[in-house]
Chains A and B, each alone.
Chain A
């Protein structure tokens, strides 16, 4: 690796390119003339450099991009849609052995029974629908209602990724605002907000979500939108961590010289909080948001697993796994109907954990490597 000393210059405005303009050497001689190789690297560049140096972060990023493409672009390339049922029919053949006794001897008679259903359910992987010439491929087979498993994985992914981003953004915004107010103003504002945080921390979230789910059902909320309300409620319960983090950082930063200078310049509190304090909390916030994405995906899957997610006609990873627990037949014989969904949940959470971990190391100024 080349030797150079890194000098950190203050971050530029976001609209400027993140690359600090470097003097471009025109000739080899000139390159030698800056042989000291003092390169000026902006903090963003430094962080990116550190981030991409870790193999795990790259793996995480690749997994995330794969999932993103898989769930948002993927359905374009699959000839099925989320709720489409394969009505092309299916012939099941069963062999029944019957023992009969005749002429004093026991015979075993095998009867071949054929049954043709109208729905092509439980199709195996890599089979085609029985539609004659324009039959379509079921890459991962179909579920018990004759819907294509592969395309449902994609739609399930859309749901999971979109919802987790939404929830994390909502609770981070709430947390930043309340934590910022508590940390900056202190006194009674801090008192009230931190007491609310303590109360929310004491509330067990899963039982509460179960109750909320039941209440929403009773109020007559459409099942298709119920999950949004549920996760909205989850966001209302989960902002406490962010608020604590922001508050702690602001308590620390408030004593720094540049805030004293800002005070002396007569800046308004809002400007101080959102222009000077919050940007300094950003590194920790980004890390906690990335790790939060994973845990929200787990929550969404768990809610779907408990039957509180999207309605059965819509796809969701958690719900696909859940069917295996309700039906031992699916669990034992139709692995393709639940295993990929579970693996995708793990992949999604893992990718966010890898990225978050890589970011934490990259953003940590104490890390030397």
Chain B
């Protein structure tokens, strides 16, 4: 198993290397680099000349846009990464790692809350739907799950804002806390909780359907197994059969799915954070993307890609641990 993991990690590292290369090339192809965007008005008014602009670009390492220059820039970035330095963000004037860790936790908190809510609702409902297949519960949950999946995240966000904060006035419109908030840390926490309820609901509605259907399909599969028939034949009550025998086996693929959500827990939600004006990592990344902040874009994307790799690796490993029937084939 150790050999398998080492092999997988090495292979993933190779993939990440190629992905980072492609990404760097693409960003450097952006028509307006960070410096040009920042000094656009000065350049138009003529208060800054070509020479000065070139000097500033050289400071940021952007002076050479030829292919060789891009390759050199990439090499510099790569060497720094191996020394544990992701560089300094142009836009935020802070080390990239610091920017990420500053804003990551807001996104993480919201995503985690939504994640718990999702599992708490989806698993019981999914099992219920499967045990009462083709019944009223089954149809209702299937239809609701499908409707949830079909919502674009921005639309559900706007709907929630319209209904719950504009019309009913129950929740605040935007932001992570009241702008003029003063109070004890506990009150601050309460205030923030108040602000993240709508974003949390939006995430839950959009992603609960997939989980519910997954649970339902798995439960149905388990219900058709021989050992369930045996359990019933032994004369166990339906409750015991479902909550002890079916439930445990249903959980196998679902537990492994949990590891797969790691990137979405930490990566932030680019669109929802925009709509709700939350200062999470997604919104920070969106701003960096639109302004050509190369170190941050590279750092952020590598962060996500590494999380994805870790997520899939972890879910494979948990799968092997949880289900002893699975054997490594490679």
Contacts and interface: CB of A to CB of B under 8 A. Distances in A.
Interface of A: 56, 195, 198-199, 202-204, 206-208, 210-212, 214-215, 217-219, 294, 298, 301-302, 305-306, 318, 321-322, 324-325, 331-332, 335, 338, 342, 345-346, 349-350, 353-354, 357
Contacts of B121: none
A215 B158 contact: no
Nearest to B159: A342
Interface stretch (B26-34, B39-47, B107-115, B240-248): B26-34
B26 A354 contact: no
B9 interface: no
A187 B290 CA distance: 42
A335 B162 contact: yes
Contacts of B285: 207
Interface string B3-41: 000000000000110110011001101111000000000
B149 interface: yes
Contacts of A206: 270
Considering residues A56, A202, A210, which has the most beta carbons from chain B within 10 angstroms of its beta carbon?
Answer: A202
Nearest 8 A-B pairs (CB), nearest first? Answer: A218-B31, A349-B150, A342-B155, A350-B150, A202-B19, A210-B289, A346-B150, A332-B166
B162 A325 contact: no
A90 to B, nearest CB: 24
A179 to B, nearest CB: 19
Contact of B142 (A56, A198, A203): A56
A302 B158 contact: no
Interface residues of B, number: 44
17 contacts: A195-B15, A202-B309, A210-B286, A210-B290, A211-B297, A214-B32, A294-B150, A302-B154, A305-B271, A306-B271, A324-B162, A325-B158, A335-B162, A342-B152, A342-B158, A345-B152, A349-B150
Contacts, number: 111
B295 to A, nearest CB: 14
B166 A203 contact: no
A208 B16 CA distance: 15
B317 interface: no
A236 B171 CA distance: 42
Contacts of B137: none
Interface string B270-306: 1100110000000001100110100001001100110
B322 interface: no
Nearest to B285: A207
A346 B151 contact: yes
Contacts of B154: 301-302, 305, 318, 321-322, 325
Given A211-B289, A346-B151, 6 more contacts: A56-B142, A199-B22, A210-B290, A211-B30, A325-B274, A346-B155
